[in-house]
Amino acid sequence: MRKHLLSFDVEQSKRGAYARCDRWTQTVPVDRIVGSVGRAYDFDHRFRYRRGSHRIPRDSTMRLRRLRVLFAQGRVPPLELYQIGDDFFVLDGHHRVAIAREVGQEYLDAHVIEYRPDPTDPSNIIYYERQTFARATGLREVYVTELGRYPRLLSRIQSYHRELVQRTCPGCEEPEPRLLPIAALVPCPVPDLREAAREWFESEYQPVVALLRAEGVVEAYPGRALGDLYGYVCDHRWYLSERRGWDVGLDVAVMDFVERFGPKSTADRLVDPIIALGSDIVARVIPRQRGPRQRLGASTVVALAVGIAALPIAFLRGLRPKDDPFHRRTLLT
């Protein structure tokens, strides 16, 4: 977690964000409010006054008390924010952000002025990928930090759209659908891409992200957004499907991902990679077949023994089992 606020002036200069555009009043995620306009050094990362700050107003305590009453009544005035990329900077409303973080409120209304980053700067590519993604899908709740992740998410939504069309109106996939005269007068209930994107977000993206949060996987990837983690699960689904020879499905992929990369005890972190190494060796030595030899290959005890025996040679040759946390990024990219 960032321990200080970003300065709008510094970020504006760094990213060349000078093209101003009024985005009017909108709902903003509180966790995307990360800086201040002109007062970044007066507050800590929770938007509380720093100790010893010479700019603490005398009526600060009274203002916080009045704002807590407004929060309880649901009558919070909109903030005034500047935006650069996916980051928001407070022009007016530092105390409101502080209370929202204090009570765990996830969204606040705000009047937003956006300053668009320099499109010729390579460091701003992700911002423009996000704009393309949002225009195509209508989704502004999905955030990623990795270059190229938005196009891959858009590709997944397009696949989801095709699947939805096949379920909703199978005949619409045919080159020349033959309809009866009466049926031709009935409008086809095929959703457009934005409708499919909203359904994907609610029925697929949010449940996967909620499971990753519940299992503590998010803490294992500091600095990564939830959209990145969903993308990792999709990458893992492809990896498992290629290895097994059929589409394993999203449910299997997310559970396997949690099992491999979720929080583990020290013993599990040491033993699981050795078992994975032994399983790989046994799978190569013993062909797939039914009977006792197959059960032997599936035995955890045998895999552990083989992995321990092969471990010195594997490390000398620079090999890593696929469950090894040091091998994680190679597996997911």
Question: Average pLDDT of each block of 10 consecutive residues along the chain (333 residues)?
Answer: 80 89 91 91 85 67 86 90 92 92 91 90 86 92 92 94 81 52 54 92 94 88 90 93 90 89 64 73 63 51 76 66 43 38
- DSSP three-state, residue 193: helix
Are the C-beta atoms of residues 265 and 254 closer than 8 Å to each other?
no
- pTM of the complete model: 0.61
Q: How far is Cα 157 from Cα 160, in angstroms, rounded to an integer? A: 5
pLDDT of residue 326: 39
- DSSP three-state, residue 23: strand
Enumerate residues 6+ apart whose C-beta is below 8 A from 88.
28, 32, 33, 34, 35, 81, 82, 110, 112
Best CA proximity match to 257, nearest among 226, 217, 287, 224: 217
- Name the residue with tokens 């195509």: 136
The DSSP call for residue 42 is T
Domain spans, the chain: 6-118, 149-260, 265-332
Q: The CATH number of 6-118 is which of 1.10.150.300, 1.10.260.40, 3.30.365.10, 3.90.1530.10?
A: 3.90.1530.10
Cβ neighbours, 10 Å, residue 89: 26
pLDDT digits (tens, 9 = 90+) for 242-294: 988 999 999 999 998 988 887 765 555 567 677 777 777 777 776 554 444 44
